[in-house]
């Protein structure tokens, strides 16, 4: 008989706590990187939405400029250069500004309602994640899509408008070298006296006879091409070249202020300011659309409301003088953005910011820069708070 010794099994020691393991942060209101990446992937995989964003922000300007480049290459006498200052202002203020806001708002409305429309909101809440973090994660995810797209489209516009700009500018129907000083314009006018006298604007007495393009004309006399001003009682017949040159120099000096405002292509400072301006407009569209869609719980109605705001309400409220409602009109974010527009960039269908920003345009409702900045900040913060509040109080 073999005796088996009694062995007492000792209880295993508790495993030591792992060093460096972070605690559960699912309840934190700060969105984690994985949450932001997930929101980004959800939006990026919506092919129809991405196609619309790329088409509006990049496709439309690229197609338009490509067609102009081809037309100018094949028929340069019939079609002007593809680039230049006027093309730049039209594309930036007419396409990237307005339609960029609309597609950014559409992206925001999609991001704010995607979980509800696809029935995923309940599953997200069950995970224990903070609802505030779920909402805030949508902001960097959406901006990571819309900001680069706007930047790419804007870069295409800047590149073509600078490198394909015309060699001269058109002033009163005359091709004039660009960026001339006052002395340079006077010197050019002296060498092209008849063209300047016949075509440039002039307010003053005319006492010379010049054969203009529509036939021999007595400038200031009957049957002639009257430039402006009252004719002199006596008209000098067959003026000498020195007299014509002196008059052309005088006209050029008077028109220099208008000539100086015409540019061959946008300056570096204007392109930088315009780029930041349209990026801010796209950011506002996305943030407001995100908050509005989260508040209403759907996408279609918020998208329609954002289009009406940009296309209909903003131009009307920015220019109409409604008694006792001026302060309410100044609360429209579109008016605030118009006042922050770079100088001489047309917005809201024309008029633009003028030389001193929005204050230089008499068509816009007056508003200070401080008020405009406060309105923009209030819209960004206000709609973010409303959207986050609705996310936190919605029934799962």
Q: Could you tell me which residues are beta bridge partners of residue 209?
A: none
- Does residue 17 lie in a domain region? no
Please say which residue of 227, 259, 291 terminates a domain: 259
What residues make up the domain containing 209?
169-259
- For the ranges 80-89, 201-210, 229-238, 344-353, the maximum mean pLDDT occurs at 80-89
pLDDT at 274: 92
Q: How far from each other are the two terminal CA atoms of the chain, in whole angstroms?
A: 71
User: Which pTM value belongs to this model?
Assistant: 0.76
Same-domain pairing of 270 and 232: no
Count CB-CB contacts under 10 A for residue 201.
12
- Does residue 367 lie in a domain region? yes
d(CA 304, CA 102): 10
pLDDT at 2: 53
d(CA 297, CA 68): 43
- Does residue 236 lie in a domain region? yes
- Does residue 24 lie in a domain region? no
User: Domain tally for the chain?
Assistant: 2
Give percent above pLDDT 70 in the chain: 77
Same-domain pairing of 209 and 248: yes
DSSP 137-195: THHHHHHHHHHHHHHHHHHHHHHHHHHT--SEEEETTEEEESS--HHHHHHHHHHTHHH
Local confidence band at 364 (pLDDT 50, 70, 90 cut-offs): confident
Tokens of residue 298, six digits: 């759907």
Asked if pLDDT for residue 254 goes beyond 70, the answer is yes
Local confidence band at 221 (pLDDT 50, 70, 90 cut-offs): very low
- Does residue 1 lie in a domain region? no
Please say which residue of 229, 259, 289 terminates a domain: 259
Same-domain pairing of 50 and 126: yes
Tally the C-alpha atoms within 13 A of residue 78's C-alpha that lie toward its C-beta: 6
pLDDT at 5: 53
Q: What would the pLDDT profile of 267-276 be if each residue is shown by its tens digit?
A: 888 899 999 9
Same-domain pairing of 253 and 295: no
Local confidence band at 201 (pLDDT 50, 70, 90 cut-offs): confident
Tokens of residue 173, six digits: 């129907």
- Does residue 224 lie in a domain region? yes
Contact 100, 150 (CB under 8 A): yes
- Does residue 18 lie in a domain region? no
- Which of 112, 125, 94, 136 lies closest to 286, judged by CA? 112
Please say which residue of 244, 259, 274 terminates a domain: 259
Question: Averaged over 200-213, what is the pLDDT?
Answer: 69
> What interhelical angle do 33-44 and 98-117 show, nearest 10?
110
d(CA 312, CA 310): 6
Q: What would the pLDDT profile of 322-360 be if each residue is shown by its tens digit?
A: 888 888 888 999 889 988 888 767 765 444 443 344 444
d(CA 108, CA 145): 11
Same-domain pairing of 206 and 224: yes
28-32, 150-154, 352-356: range with lowest mean pLDDT: 352-356
Rounded to whole angstroms, what are the CA distances from 336 to 22, 241, 330, 340?
45, 54, 7, 7
Same-domain pairing of 271 and 388: yes
Same-domain pairing of 277 and 227: no
Same-domain pairing of 219 and 156: no
Same-domain pairing of 315 and 294: yes
Question: Averaged over 76-85, what is the pLDDT?
Answer: 83
pLDDT at 154: 95
Asked if pLDDT for residue 310 goes beyond 80, the answer is yes
Average pLDDT of the chain, as a whole number? 79
Same-domain pairing of 155 and 204: no
Contact 61, 157 (CB under 8 A): yes
pLDDT at 333: 92
Instruction: Report the relative pairing of strands 174-177 and 168-171 from DSSP bridges.
Output: antiparallel
Report which of residues 91 and 250 the model is more confident about: 91
Asked if pLDDT for residue 39 goes beyond 80, the answer is yes
d(CA 140, CA 132): 14
- Does residue 27 lie in a domain region? no
Asked if pLDDT for residue 298 goes beyond 90, the answer is no
Asked if pLDDT for residue 138 goes beyond 70, the answer is yes
E strand spans, 55-212 = 168-171, 174-177, 210-212
Same-domain pairing of 160 and 282: yes
């Amino acid at each position: 008989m073999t005796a088996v010794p009694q062995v007492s099994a000792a209880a295993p020691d508790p495993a030591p706590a792992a060093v460096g393991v972070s605690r559960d942060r699912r309840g934190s209101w700060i969105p984690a990187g994985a949450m932001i990446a997930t929101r980004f992937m959800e939006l990026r995989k919506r092919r129809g939405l991405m196609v619309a964003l790329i088409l509006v922000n990049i496709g439309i300007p690229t197609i338009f400029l490509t067609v102009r480049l081809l037309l100018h290459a094949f028929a340069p006498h019939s079609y002007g250069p593809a680039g230049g200052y006027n093309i730049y202002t039209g594309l930036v203020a007419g396409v990237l500004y307005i339609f960029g806001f609309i597609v950014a708002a559409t992206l925001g409305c999609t991001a704010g309602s995607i979980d509800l429309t696809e029935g995923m909101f309940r599953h997200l809440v069950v995970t224990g994640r903070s609802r505030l973090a779920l909402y805030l994660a949508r902001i960097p995810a959406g901006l990571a899509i819309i900001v680069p797209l706007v930047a790419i489209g804007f870069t295409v516009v800047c590149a073509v408008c600078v490198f394909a700009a015309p060699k001269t500018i058109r002033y009163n129907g005359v091709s004039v070298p660009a960026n001339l000083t006052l002395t340079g314009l006077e010197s050019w006018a002296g060498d092209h006296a008849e063209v300047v006298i016949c075509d440039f604007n002039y307010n003053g007495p005319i006492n010379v006879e010049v054969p203009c393009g529509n036939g021999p004309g007595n400038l200031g006399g009957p049957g002639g091409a009257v430039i402006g001003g009252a004719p002199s009682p006596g008209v000098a017949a067959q003026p000498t070249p020195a007299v014509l040159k002196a008059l052309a120099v005088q006209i050029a000096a008077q028109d220099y202020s208008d000539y100086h405002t015409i540019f061959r292509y946008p300056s570096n400072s204007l392109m930088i300011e315009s780029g930041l301006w349209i990026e801010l407009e796209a950011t506002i569209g996305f943030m407001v659309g995100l908050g509005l869609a989260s508040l209403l719980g759907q996408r279609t109605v918020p998208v329609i409301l954002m289009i009406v705001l940009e296309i209909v309400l903003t131009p009307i409220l920015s220019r109409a003088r409604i008694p006792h409602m001026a302060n309410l009109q100044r609360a429209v974010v579109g008016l605030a953005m118009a006042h922050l527009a770079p100088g001489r960039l047309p917005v809201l269908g024309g008029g633009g910011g003028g030389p001193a920003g929005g204050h230089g345009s008499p068509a816009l409702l007056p508003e200070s820069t401080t008020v405009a900045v406060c309105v923009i900040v209030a819209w960004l913060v206000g709609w973010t708070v409303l959207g986050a509040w609705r996310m936190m109080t919605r029934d799962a």
